[in-house]
Amino acid sequence: MNDFTVQDLWAKAAAHLQEKLHPDVYSRWIAVIVPDSLSGDDLGLRVDNNFYQSWLEDNYLPIIRDALAAVSGKTFKITFKVAPPSAPSLSMDRTASTDSPDALARRRATPPRSVGRRPAAGFETNLNRRYTFEEFIVGPSNHFSHAAALAVSQSPGRAYNPLFIYGGSGLGKTHLIQAIGHSVLKMNRLKVAYLSCETFLNEYIDAIQNKSHHAFRNKYRNIDLLLIDDIHFLAGKQGIQEEFFHTFNALSDAHKQIVLSSDRPPSDLKGVDERLVTRFNWGLVTEVQPPEFETRLAILRYKKEQAQIHVNDQVIEFIAQSVRSNIRSLEGALTRVASYASLKGRDLSIPELENLLRDILEKEHEKDLTFDLIMRTVADHFDIRLTDMTSKRRPQAVSGPRQVAMYLCRTLTSSSLPEIASAFGKTHATILHAYHAIEKRMAADPTLKQDVSRISHALDRRD
Amino acid sequence: MKISLTKEKFLNGLQLVNGVVGSRTTLPILSNLLLKGEQNKIWLTATDLELSIRASVEAEVQEPGVTTLPARRLLNVIRELPSDNFTLEIDEKNNAAISCGSAYFKILGLAADEFPVLPQLTGGYSYTIDRMVFKDMLQKTAYAASADEMRYILNGNLLSFKGEKLVVVTTDGRRLALAEQEVEFPKEAEADVVVPTKTVMELMRALQGEGPMKIHVVDKQVAFEFGDILLVSKLIEGQYPNYRQVIPGQCEQRVAIDREILLNAIRRVSILASDKATAVKLTFGKNKLTVAVSSPDVGEAHESLPIKYTGKETTVSFNGEFLMDPLRNLANDEIFFEIIDELSPGVMKCDSAFIYVIMPMRVN
C-alpha cells in the first residue's frame, strides 16, 4: 500500500518544510532528522538525542505532520526515536495491511496445527495450542510487538535479545510469547521452555528444598529459547532474582533467545535489581496497548466465525463499542451474548444487551477515576490521613493537600462541582475556590506544580 | 543551653531556614531544626536530606548547647511572642522553655544526635562570584525551568563554568532562558552542574547583602556559602542537553521595546485569555506593535504600542505567560525583541548578557 519508501517521503516533506521554515530553523531542527521506518500510517523519525526529540515533539510536530500531509495526502502518526538505528530484520511490511476490520478478520487462520510436545526437545513446553501467530489478530495497538515477536521467532537469539513485551492484562502478551514458542518449535528443533514467573519461582524453591540446585541450573541454562511470562513477579524476591540473573547471563552469553512479558515497562519494575532492569532494557522493549475499535471488531468477528456463533453485526458492534479495556472481557461478553441469544432463539436488542452485560460495563466504568482514589493518592503523597481529606480541620498541613485533591477531582474527572463538594462534605463554592487557588499557586510555586504532576502520574499509572 | 534573643532577629533566621524543612517527611527529625548555641551566635540548621541550609543569628549565649525543635511550631510561637526580648532554655531532656514577659512556652524537642550531619564537602573546585550578581542571574532564569518530572534533568538550573564564564540556563522544551557572567577560575575547574529548582528558590530567598559568595562543587553535591549562611544541595545527575542548539543565529529584525509598557500591555490583554495556554498575538507593523488576545468563549482585546520598526509586517503568537515571565524578572528599562517569522522562535535580549528563546504557538 505504500507507493513510496520512507526516504522518498521524508525527502519530499523536508523540501516542503524548507520552503516554509526559516533556513536557520530548518538547518537547526529539521535537517538533523533521519527517516527511519514507515509502516502504514506510522512514520518513525530518528534524531541524535532526546533533547531533539522533546523539542521537536513540543514545538514542530504539527508543522511536520502538515508537511507530510501536504506531500502525501495522508496524515501520519509520527514517532521520534533517539539513535541508534533499528535492526533491519524487523519485517514491518508484514503488518502493514491493517486498514479495515474486514481485512483483519479475513486474515484468519489456517486451523491451528497441533504443536505438542516434541520428544526431541525432551522438554515440557506447556504451550497453549490456541496461542499461535495465525490466531493473533494484528491491529495498530499491537502490530509493533507482533512484528518484533515474528522477527524473534524467525531468528531466535539474533534479532532482539531479550525481547520484553509489556502491557495491561488480557491484551495478548501471553499469546504473543507462546506464539514465538510455537513458531520456533515448528521450524527447528530447539529446546523451548515456556513458564510463568511463578512456576520458575516454585521450581527454584523446590530446588532449594531438595538441594537439587545443580539440576535446576542445568535445566534452564541449556535451553535455546526461554519464555517467561509475568516477570514482574520477581519484584521484591531477592533470591530468585539472583538465580534469574545468572540464568539470564548464561543464556545471553550463549546467544540463546530470552523473551519476557510484564505488566509494566522495565523502568517501572519496583523491587527488581537495577542490574536486571538494565538487562531487560538491552534488547527491545515493546508495549501492547488496548485494542482500538476496529481491532476489537475484527477480534469479535474472528471469534464469531471460529465458534460458529450467530449474532448480528449490530450486537457485535455494540460489544466492540462498550468493552474497551481488554480482550479477555471482550471474548467473555461475546460468549455470554451468544449463549443467551441461542437460548432465546433470536437476536438481542440493545437494552437487553446492556442489561445482560451490565457487570462488565460497570467494571469498564470503574476504570474511571473515583474521588476516593484521588483522595487516597493525595493523602498518601502528602503523608496525611485519609480522614483529613473530608474533615473540617483547617491547619495548613491538611488544607493544602485537601485543596490539591479538590483541584484534581475537578480537572481529572468530569463530575460537577456539587458532586465533588458532597464527596468532600463542602459547598461547591469551596471546591471552586480551591480549584482557582491551586491553579494560581501552581503558577508561582514550582514545588507544588511538581507535587501535582507527581500525583497525576501516580493516578495514571495505577493498575 | 540558655540563650537570650531578640524576637526580630531570631524570626528572620527562622524564616530563612524554614523553607527547607520538608513538607512531607517520613523521618520525624527532619521536621525539626537543629539549634546550636555557642559564643555569640545561635546556629540554625534545616535539611530535607536533598538540601540543607545553615544560618546564624546573633544571641547572648549564657550556656552553650545543642538540641532540635519542631520547626513550624517554633516559628509560630516566636512570631506570636508579645515583646521583643525573650530567653530560650533547653533542659537535658531536650525540652525548650521560652519565656517572654509573662508568656511561657514549653516545646518538646528531640536529641540533636539523631539529626543528619551537614555534608562536609572536601576536594572538588570552588568558584567565587558576587552574590548579588549571582542572585540576579538566577532570578532571570529560574522561572523557565521545567516542572515536568518526566524530564528530570530539566528540573533545575544548569550552571556551566566554561571558558572563564558562568552560564546559567533553564529550559522546559518550549522556551529557554540564559544568563552569562564572567567569572575567574582555573581551566581545570570547568564543569557543568544542574542545581534542583527547590535549591535555587531557597538560594534566591537567602541571598542578601553585599559581598562575594563561594560556590563549591564536589562530585554530586554543591555548596553555596556567603556570610554565615551555607546551603548544601544534591545535584541533578545526568547530561544537560546541548542548549546552544536552541538559540537561533542571526536575526532579521531587532526591535527595542520599553519593558514595562510591553509587560503591562500583555497583562491587560491577557485578562481576556480563557486559560493559561491562550496565545498572545504580536503584530509588528510599521512603527507599531499590536498585542492581541482573542478567545472564542470570552472575548478579545488588543493594544498598540509605539516601536521603531520598518521591516515587513509580521505576526507571531506566543504563550502569554511565557512572554511575561522574563519581563517580570528583568530590571532593564528596555528589552530587545528579535523575530524572524511566525514559525521561528522569538528571542528576547537586554543590555546585560541575557537571552530568552521562546517558541511560537501556532494559531489557525
**DSSP string for B108-136:** E-B-GGGSPPPPPP-SSEEEEEEHHHHHH
| Residue B177: Cβ-neighbour burial (10 angstroms; 0-12, 13-18, 19+) | buried
Within this chain, domains B2-114 and B125-245 share the same CATH topology: yes
Closest by Cα among A167, A163, A201 to A280:
A163
Three-state DSSP at A268 gives helix
What kind and span of H or E run contains B97? strand B95-100
Kindly provide the ipTM of the predicted complex, given to two decimals. Answer: 0.74
In the DSSP assignment, the letter for residue A73 is S
pLDDT mean over A171-181: 89
pLDDT given for residue B262 in this prediction: 94
d(CA A453, CA A264): 20
pLDDT > 70 fraction of chain A, expressed in percent and rounded: 87
d(CA A227, CA A197): 9
Q: Any idea where the domains of chain A sit in the sequence?
A: 6-82, 123-288, 293-366, 371-461
d(CA B148, CA B127): 30
CATH fold of B125-245:
DNA Polymerase III; Chain A, domain 2 (3.10.150)
Q: Any idea where the domains of chain B sit in the sequence?
A: 2-114, 125-245, 248-358
Q: Find out if CATH 3.60.10.10 is the number for domain A123-288.
A: no
CATH fold of A293-366:
Helicase, Ruva Protein; domain 3 (1.10.8)
Cell numbers found for residue A94 = 508484514
pLDDT mean over A95-117: 38
Which strands make up the sheet holding A34-39, listed edge to edge? Answer: A34-39, A42-47, A77-82
C-alpha torsion sign, points B339, B341, B343, B344: negative
Tell me, letter by letter, the H, E, C secondary structure of A302-353. HHHHHHCCCCCHHHHHHHHHHCCCCHHHHHHHHHHHHHHHHHHCCCCCHHHH
**Could you tell me the mean pLDDT of each successive run of 10 residues in chain B, 364 residues long?**
92 91 75 91 91 93 92 92 92 91 92 86 89 94 89 91 93 93 90 94 91 91 93 91 85 86 94 85 92 90 91 90 93 90 89 90 70
Into which CATH architecture does domain A371-461 fall? Orthogonal Bundle (1.10)
pLDDT given for residue A295 in this prediction: 86
Three-state DSSP at B230 gives strand
C-alpha torsion sign, points A133, A136, A137, A139: negative
Ramachandran angles phi, psi of A127, nearest 5°: -80, 140
pLDDT mean over A381-386: 85
d(CA A112, CA A135): 8
Ramachandran angles phi, psi of A39, nearest 5°: -150, 110
Of A54, A63, A446, the CB nearest to B147: A446
Higher model confidence: residue B98 or residue A81?
B98
In the DSSP assignment, the letter for residue A95 is G
Q: Is residue B25 within 8 angstroms of chain A, CB to CB?
A: yes
Confidence of residue A3 (pLDDT cuts 50, 70, 90): low
d(CA A210, CA B136): 70
Quick check: A105 pLDDT over 50? no
Average pLDDT, chain A: 79
Q: Which of A128-132, A355-359, A374-378, B1-5 has the highest mean pLDDT?
A: B1-5
Q: Do A21 and B343 touch (CB under 8 A)?
A: yes
| A196 neighbors A231 (Cβ within 8 angstroms) | no
Residue A347, min C-alpha distance to chain B (Å): 47
Q: How far is CA B4 from CA A126, B74, B90, B228, in A?
A: 79, 15, 12, 20
Q: How many Cβ pairs within 8 Å bridge chains A and B?
A: 68
pLDDT given for residue B25 in this prediction: 61
Closest by Cα among B15, B135, B201 to A445:
B201
Residue numbers of B between 134 and 193 with CB closer than 8 Å to A: 145, 147-151, 155, 173-174
pLDDT tens for each residue of A351-372: 888 888 877 776 665 556 778 8
Best mutation target among B24, B151, B275, B318 (most A Cβ atoms within 10 Å) is B24
Q: Is residue B122 within 8 angstroms of chain A, CB to CB?
A: no
Closest by Cα among A233, A254, A224 to A125:
A224
Quick check: A86 pLDDT over 80? no
pLDDT tens for each residue of A271-302: 888 888 888 888 888 888 878 888 888 888 88
Of A58, A381, A457, the CB nearest to B174: A58
Q: Amino acid identity of A56?
A: L
pLDDT given for residue B200 in this prediction: 95
pLDDT tens for each residue of A144-164: 888 889 888 888 877 788 899
Confidence of residue A97 (pLDDT cuts 50, 70, 90): very low
Into which CATH architecture does domain B248-358 fall? Roll (3.10)
Of A22, A28, A52, the CB nearest to B341: A22
pLDDT given for residue A462 in this prediction: 58
Quick check: A303 pLDDT over 90? no
| A393 neighbors A385 (Cβ within 8 angstroms) | no
pLDDT given for residue B300 in this prediction: 92
pLDDT tens for each residue of A305-322: 877 777 788 888 888 887
CATH code assigned to A6-82:
3.30.300.180
Quick check: A452 pLDDT over 70? yes
Q: Do A22 and B344 touch (CB under 8 A)?
A: yes
Higher model confidence: residue B234 or residue A28?
B234
| Residue A381: Cβ-neighbour burial (10 angstroms; 0-12, 13-18, 19+) | middle
| Neighbour tally for A57: CB within 10 Å | 15
Domain B2-114 CATH class label: alpha beta
Q: To 10 degrees, the CA torsion angle through A175, A180, A182, A183?
A: 130
Q: Is residue B343 within 8 angstroms of chain A, CB to CB?
A: yes
Backbone φ/ψ region at B68: left (φ over 0), alpha (ψ -120 to 50), beta: beta
